[in-house]
Amino acid sequence: MTHRIGVIGGDGIGPEVVAEALKVARAAGVELEEVPFDLGGSRYLATGEVLPADELERIRHLDAVLLGAVGTPDVPPGVLERGLLLRLRFELDLYVNLRPFLAGPGRHNDGADFVVVRENTEGVYAGEGGFLRKGTPQEIATQGSVNTRHGVERCVRFAFALARGRERHRLTLVHKTNVLTFAGDLWQRTFGEVAADFPDVDTGYDHVDAAAIHLVADPDRYDVIVTDNLFGDILTDLGGAIAGGIGRAASGNLNPDRTGPSMFEPVHGSAPDIAGSGRADPRAAVISAAMMLEFLGEDEAADRIAKAVGSSEDVAGTTSEIGDAIAERL
Ligand code: IPM
Ligand code: MN
């Protein structure tokens, strides 16, 4: 079966690492039809377009999307983030951002093997708020956190189902219920109610500030973490730092209901300073592609790629040499 994959290489090192990810996926024996999209900072600077409606429409009918990175220094902050990346997450209803972390013993701890389920369509990312009296001394800026019962529950349910399928079947809610007494209350109540449907999953709760310490000092405490959009954004950068660096951090923006394609991307950015130098590590993109294949039902290929990346710690070289070495180790 051939999978139709939308490929958004994007900017900087994005196209370079995506090329290696696709190379490795093919070497694992998976048939892919690539549908390229020229989206990102370069396109915006050349044409003023961020995500034209007809291209979004074509993306809706694909099996999955693989994205490298978007962002160039000349584009004002927010244009590509809101207009492309977040727009795709919202329009395609990619309500789970799944970020796995795996690391051997490190400087601060004995190793980690946990997954963060980050809510991906609500919270402060929803864009609620605005200015009053902008530019005056009386200026007011508000930015609210939107939390719907529906949005929280579907994310929490996904996390419980994921935890049920893992060896330790343990799920921790991370929030800030002691201060965010409205949003936190909704999350905690929902978590408690859904837990009744998953009696085989052990549950826990940590405040997000405490979780930041535990992630560094005792990450083994975590198996699956479920958390809101902004906490998940911050904690997963921390996760990257403790688990092999940002060059290993992969993610899947999932539409678990499969009403459209899911989108897979390395957590790192476009790194314009090293673009074209061959110094980008493609591993995060390769792991993201493995997550994509797993989501598409290609479990065996996904597993082989994950193992090949795991056994490639000794490999150094250029972006494409690392890609070749991983492909050879399949
Ligand atoms: C991420 C990124 C994005 C986010 C930015 C680029 C909008 O930091 O995927 O973690 O905040 O979600
Ligand atoms: Mn982030």
Strands 250-254 and 96-103: antiparallel
- In whole angstroms, what is the distance from residue 112 CA to residue 164 CA? 19
Pocket test for ligand 1, best of 39, 65, 75, 85 (most atoms within 8 A of CB): 85
Contact 153, 173 (CB under 8 A): no
What is the model's pLDDT at position 37? Answer: 98
Report the C-alpha gap between 144 and 147 in whole angstroms. Answer: 10
Ligand 1, atom 10, lies closest to the CA of 233
Q: How far is the CA of 99 from the centre of ligand 2 (A)?
A: 11
Three-state secondary-structure class, residue 266: strand
Mean pLDDT over residues 158-168, rounded?
Answer: 98
- 129-155 pLDDT tens trace: 999 999 999 999 999 999 999 999 999
- Pocket lining: 202 vs ligand 1, CB cutoff 6 Å: no
Ligand 1 pocket check for 237: Cβ under 6 Å: no
Computed over every residue of the chain, the mean pLDDT equals 96
Q: Whose CA is nearest to atom 12 of ligand 1?
A: 233
What is the three-class DSSP state of 49? Answer: coil
For residue range 171-180, list pLDDT tens digits in order.
Answer: 999 999 999 9
For residues 62-90, average pLDDT: 95
CA torsion 85-86-88-90 (nearest 10°) is 170
Looking at residue 258, its pLDDT comes to 97
Give this prediction's pTM.
Answer: 0.96
The helix/strand/coil state of 69 is strand
CA nearest ligand 1 atom 9, residue: 267
Ion ligand 2 residue ranges (Cβ < 5 Å): 233
- Tell me: pLDDT of 208 over 90: yes
User: Per-residue pLDDT averaged across 3-19, rounded?
Assistant: 98
pLDDT class of 106 with cuts at 50, 70, 90: confident
Report pLDDT for 244. Answer: 80
From 75, 86, 228, mutation site for ligand 1 pocket: most ligand atoms within 8 A of C-beta: 86
Catalytic amino acids? 125, 176, 209, 233, 237
- The predicted structure's pLDDT at residue 172: 99
